[in-house]
């Protein structure tokens, strides 16, 4: 079955750039999306079709995808960005989520 | 605004069934797929299946085949997810999420508030 691999945790200082990666076989062909989930809340879409931001998502969020790796980048990270982040892709008609990355801003 | 409102928390015994509802508002219910995703405490997201509310067509993750059924009542813009033969491992928060289609792919937005299902004897 198809798998997406994310680092369990990423740490960043306030104001710096955070990069969260998602690895999957030929992921560059699948147009993944990204979700942010803060503690006790439902997931929120922050990026889709590789690098498109939904309305209301700050410009500091950006995405890229090439080869086997998709990356969610947060520029000028703020304390409010501290959350779990999940990548997601489709494999035929099945949805696959990455294991999630806990972003700590310290 | 687009909203998905789910039913309240449930406590079930092992072997029982649970049916969670998801009421859509702010858009035409039959124009978008509806997906179900669950999350055990401290764990990641796990997709369970989808439904086209217009046709009633469904698709389920292999893990849940035979135990999960997604249905809808279009007259009240509500989708349902029923999970049978519950085990303690099914204790989780269950989310519904609207599926959106683009030129290249599909994505989930928005999500419901989640429904906690606890399976305990």
Instruction: Name which of A12, A33, A30 is nearest A81 in CA terms.
Output: A12
Average confidence (pLDDT) over A42-47: 98
Three-state SS sequence of chain A: CCCCECCCEEEECCCCCEEEEEECCCHHHCCCEEEEECCCCCCEEEEECCCECCCCCCCCEEEEEECCEEEEEECCCCHHHCEEEEEEEEECCEEEECCCEEEEEC
Distance from CA of A90 to the nearest CA of B (A): 8
Can you give the length of chain A in residues? 106
Output the pLDDT for position A28. 85
| B9 CB within 8 Å of a chain A CB | no
Cβ-based contacts of A95 with chain B (< 8 Å): 35, 37, 47, 50, 61
Output the pLDDT for position A3. 94
Residues A79, A83: Cα–Cα separation, whole Å = 9
Cβ-based contacts of A49 with chain B (< 8 Å): 102-105, 107
Cβ-based contacts of B68 with chain A (< 8 Å): none
3-state class of B90 per DSSP? helix
Q: Is the pLDDT of residue A35 over 90?
A: yes
Instruction: Name which of B46, B3, B16, B34 is nearest B99 in CA terms.
Output: B34
Q: Is the pLDDT of residue A93 over 90?
A: no
Cβ-based contacts of B95 with chain A (< 8 Å): 42-43
Q: Which of A90, A93, A97 sits opposite B45 (nearest CB)?
A: A97
Residues B11, B6: Cα–Cα separation, whole Å = 15
CA angle B15, B97, A25 (to 5 degrees): 95
Output the pLDDT for position A92. 85
Instruction: Name which of B14, B4, B30 is nearest B83 in CA terms.
Output: B14
Output the pLDDT for position B103. 82
Q: Could you tell me which chain A residue has the CA closest to the CA of B98?
A: A45
Residues A45, B4: Cα–Cα separation, whole Å = 15
Q: Which of B44, B97, B104 sits opposite A86 (nearest CB)?
A: B44
**pLDDT tens-place string over residues A48-83:** 998 999 999 999 999 999 889 999 999 999 999 999
């Amino acid at each position: 079955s198809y798998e997406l691999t994310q680092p369990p945790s990423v740490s960043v200082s306030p104001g710096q750039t955070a990069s969260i990666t998602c690895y999957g076989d030929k992921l560059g062909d699948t147009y993944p999306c990204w979700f942010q989930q803060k503690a006790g809340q439902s997931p929120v879409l922050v990026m889709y079709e590789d690098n498109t931001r939904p309305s209301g998502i700050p410009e500091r969020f950006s995405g890229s995808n090439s080869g086997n790796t998709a990356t969610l980048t947060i520029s000028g990270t703020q304390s409010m960005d501290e959350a779990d982040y999940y990548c997601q892709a489709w494999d035929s008609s099945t949805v696959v989520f990455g294991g999630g990355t806990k972003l700590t801003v310290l | 605004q687009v909203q998905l409102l789910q039913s309240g928390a449930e406590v079930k015994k092992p072997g029982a069934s649970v049916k969670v509802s998801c009421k859509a508002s702010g858009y035409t219910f039959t124009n978008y797929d509806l997906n179900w995703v669950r999350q055990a405490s401290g764990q990641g997201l796990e997709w369970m299946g989808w439904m086209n509310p217009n046709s009633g067509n469904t698709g389920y993750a292999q893990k849940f085949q035979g135990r999960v059924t997604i249905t809808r009542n279009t007259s009240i813009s509500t989708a349902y997810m029923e999970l049978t033969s519950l085990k303690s491992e099914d204790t989780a928060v269950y989310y519904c999420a609207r599926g959106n289609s683009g030129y290249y792919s599909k994505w989930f937005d928005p999500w419901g508030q989640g429904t906690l299902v606890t399976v305990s004897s």
